[in-house]
Structures are given as structure tokens and as C-alpha cells.
């Protein structure tokens, strides 16, 4: 079971995933993110400070959520991404697709 720990900062939904985002839990993450977007939360910040691994299945989830948020006039933004996870984003080209910020404050300002 995943725990995203919802918080709000004005109209931005801040989620705090932990551990791994991989094939074992990707479907659950996807459903959780898409449900929140359907509920009208299209401005989403994922604080990834506690995410230590992401697989291609996890990347697909983030891509899907980013597209859906954009379709709803919002966006998906990441912050505090650990180095090993940041490398996955860099090597896969996802840094060009999804906005990544060093800390929560900078990410919130990007909305």
C-alpha cells in the first residue's frame, strides 16, 4: 500500500511518496494520481526526497500524470529528487518533460 501524505499549499496539492516507485506499485501510484486529477487537483507537486528508486514503470506513471494534469490546465512538478533517481530522469530524457526543482519552495514558485 502506498502512502502519499496529502498536503495543500494554496491550490497546489503536495504529495510525499516514499521508497520505490516500480512495477510492484506503479499501478497503485497511477490510480492515486489520476484520481486526484479527476477530483480537480491538477497542480501537483511530488516531493521526492524520500523516493530512493524509480523504474521505467514509475516513469510511465509520472508521464501519464503529467499529461493528464496538463490537459486539466495544471502541471506535475517534482522537487528534492535524490541523485540516483535524478540520474534516471536525466538519462531517460525526463528532465526535458517534467519540471524538477531542488527544493519545495522553488517548486511551489513555479506554479
Question: 52 lies in which domain range?
Answer: 7-109
Task: Specify if 41 maps to a domain.
Answer: yes
Task: Specify if 2 maps to a domain.
Answer: no
- This prediction has a pTM of 0.93
Cell triple for residue 97?
518533460
**Number of domains the chain is built from:** 1
Task: Specify if 73 maps to a domain.
Answer: yes
Q: pLDDT digits over 27-74, tens only?
A: 999 999 999 999 999 999 999 999 999 999 999 999 999 999 999 999
Task: Specify if 64 maps to a domain.
Answer: yes
**What distance in Å separates the CA atoms of residue 108 and residue 96, rounded to the nearest whole number?**
19
Residue 79's CATH number: 3.30.750.24
Contact 14, 47 (CB under 8 A): yes
Task: Specify if 1 maps to a domain.
Answer: no
- Inform me whether the pLDDT recorded for 96 exceeds 90: yes
**Measured CA distances, 52 to 4, 46, 71, 76, 84 (Å):** 15, 13, 29, 19, 7
**What distance in Å separates the CA atoms of residue 2 and residue 32, rounded to the nearest whole number?**
9
Amino acid at each position: 500500500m502506498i502512502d502519499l501524505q496529502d498536503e495543500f499549499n494554496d491550490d497546489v496539492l503536495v504529495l510525499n511518496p516514499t521508497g520505490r516507485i516500480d512495477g510492484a506499485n506503479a499501478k497503485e501510484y497511477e490510480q492515486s494520481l489520476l484520481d486526484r486529477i479527476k477530483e480537480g487537483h491538477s497542480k501537483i507537486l511530488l516531493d521526492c526526497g524520500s523516493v530512493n528508486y524509480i523504474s521505467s514503470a514509475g516513469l510511465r506513471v509520472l508521464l501519464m500524470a503529467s499529461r493528464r494534469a496538463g490537459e486539466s490546465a495544471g502541471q506535475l512538478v517534482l522537487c528534492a529528487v535524490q541523485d540516483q533517481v535524478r540520474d534516471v530522469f536525466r538519462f531517460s530524457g525526463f528532465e526535458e518533460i517534467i519540471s524538477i526543482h531542488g527544493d519545495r519552495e522553488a517548486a511551489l514558485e513555479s506554479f
